[in-house]
Structure 1
């Protein structure tokens, strides 16, 4: 890793605290007390609870319940989204994600077939609430976001680069920084613009468009996505397209579950998927 750009000042400090706390909670065999978590963070229990609750929206104790193995099934029962009606009812516009992105567009099929030839992609490493994140973007918006927690920094970099092997890659984290701040919830209104630039095959783009209709804190199934794009038998192909989503977190593939309530797969690691769902559920409740 050549360079890493932190989320600055107080926001960056809180993100680092939350990242460490989530890692600790997720790796514990049993629920951790407030006192134990605070001690690991080097804080008083009151100070840690205040910071955690401000960022997540609920207490550490309540958040740990969202990380329980049965949480995915509960989400399907309580917050299942029918994609065909989500947009019509305005539900898809109520999530934080859709407030952040003022615009998004996709590369033409012909340009995509060129493997990124003639395209300049800027990249940088950033600390995020869900671990170290690799962010990539063009002049038009964020085109890639991956997490290194499970596959490591080199693996994450190779994973994104090989999607567009003929592009020119330029390390420039400061160029991406305003979009990254918006993507991970910076409060400064002037920074709340994080446009997306989707680079994929036409079928993949359709699936990713469907994912963008799932409100924060809600989930759907792979079969529901297939129905919504007019190809109900393409559940397996939909699953592949979900897994190939290059912009994790922002194109919310973590909100797609199996009909059984199982988490299914997640390209960047199931612990990351559980953390993303838990965070969004907590925020929705708050």
Structure 2
């Protein structure tokens, strides 16, 4: 598997810089909003009527209060890497199969997470392509078997899943 670098922060109160964002269209998903810091992707989500860009940018600003959001036009290496990684991931969803080590592409991530969220999100990365795992199963894996509802909240708070 390609090395994925994840920069973890407990709080955004210690981080202030410009966050760049742009939209990409990915079939069959639709329009995606991608936001990044200098350290990696910090938000990736689908835009639609219930989740328009203005509402989404407001949520990102609340999560990263000391940062300035700046519209960018993704191009070059970053855009190509982003599109090829997302297209590969969509192909895996449509046609799950074991990946050769060199097949999987990866993007660096920059995430704010409390310790419990971090443990849940790391478990999400371990779920094989094309397979599912219940919140209860994840709660067991993070050594907190009665926390399935908290796992659901952590999954819902994941800005890149």
1:202-221 aligned within 5 A = 202-221=115-134
Contact 2:21–2:36 (CA<8 Å) still a contact in 1?
yes
Give the Cα separation in 1 of the matches to 2:114 and 2:142.
15
Shift of 1:131: 1.0
Whether 2:68 is the aligned partner of 1:168: answer: yes
1:73-88 aligned within 5 A = none
- When residues 243 and 134 of structure 1 are mapped into structure 2, their CA distance, relative to the original with a 3 A threshold, is same
Q: Give the length in aligned residue pairs.
A: 142
Shift of 1:140: 2.1
Matched with 1:177 is: 79
Give the Cα separation in 2 of the matches to 1:179 and 1:154.
26
Matched with 1:282 is: none
Shift of 1:132: 0.8
- Greater strand percent: which structure? 2
Task: Give 1 or 2 for the bigger CA radius of gyration.
Answer: 1
Secondary structure in structure 2 of the residue aligned to 1:208: helix
- When residues 169 and 152 of structure 1 are mapped into structure 2, their CA distance, relative to the original with a 3 A threshold, is closer
Give the Cα separation in 1 of the matches to 2:63 and 2:149.
20
Contact 2:9–2:111 (CA<8 Å) still a contact in 1?
no
Matched with 1:107 is: 8
Q: Deviations over 1:220-240 (max 9, x none)?
A: 000111111111111111111
Contact 2:32–2:47 (CA<8 Å) still a contact in 1?
yes
Q: TM-score when scaled to structure 2?
A: 0.77
Q: TM-score when scaled to structure 1?
A: 0.45
- When residues 235 and 121 of structure 1 are mapped into structure 2, their CA distance, relative to the original with a 3 A threshold, is same
- Greater helix percent: which structure? 1
Contact 2:43–2:160 (CA<8 Å) still a contact in 1?
yes
Whether 2:67 is the aligned partner of 1:141: answer: no
Match of 1:200 among 113, 129, 132: 113
Whether 2:126 is the aligned partner of 1:245: answer: no
Contact 1:104–1:198 (CA<8 Å) still a contact in 2?
no
Contact 1:210–1:225 (CA<8 Å) still a contact in 2?
yes
Gaps in structure 2 of 5+ consecutive residues: 89-101
Secondary structure in structure 2 of the residue aligned to 1:161: helix
Contact 2:34–2:43 (CA<8 Å) still a contact in 1?
yes
Secondary structure in structure 1 of the residue aligned to 2:60: helix
* Greater RCO, 1 or 2 (C-alpha within 8 Å, sep 6+): 2
**C-alpha RMSD of the superposition:** 2.2
Gaps in structure 1 of 5+ consecutive residues: 1-98, 249-286
